[in-house]
Amino acid sequence: MGKIILRLDRVMADRKMSLNELSEKVGVSNVNLSKIKTGKISAVRFSTLEAICEALKCQPGDILEYSPDDTAAV
């Protein structure tokens, strides 16, 4: 089975936006945004994803990436 990779750190760096600034714009705590940024979450609300995309002026696909499991191809 594949996995979802979070690219929030990359998008934030491209937009030169700090965690504190994004937290203020999105209305989500630094701790929760940090968990999203490091991929230490199992779910994200669409409303949160929408707010992040609005603040960073990006698409959900810029933040989320699907990586197929290559071990099955062996």
- Whichever domain contains 35, its CATH number is 1.10.260.40
| 19 domain-assigned | yes
Residue 44 predicted with pLDDT over 90: yes
Dig out the tokens for 11 from the structure. 């998008």
| Full residue range of the structural domain in which residue 33 is found | 3-68
User: Would 64 be classed as within a structural domain?
Assistant: yes
pLDDT band at 74 (very low <50, low <70, confident <90, very high): very low
pLDDT of residue 2: 86
| CA angle at 23 for the pair 22 and 28, rounded to the nearest 5° | 135
Mean pLDDT across 34-41: 92
In the chain, how many domains are there? Answer: 1
Comparing CA positions, the residue from 4, 34, 20, 22 lying closest to residue 58 is 22
Residue 69's pLDDT band (cuts 50, 70, 90): confident
In a domain, 35, yes or no: yes
Provide the percentage of residues in the chain whose pLDDT is more than 90.
85
Spell out a b/e string for 13-32, using b for 16 or more CB atoms within 10 Å of the CB, else e.
eeeeeeeeebbeebebeeee
Asked if the structure places residue 24 within a domain, the reply is yes
Question: Is 11 within the bounds of a domain?
Answer: yes
DSSP-derived 3-state class of residue 6: strand
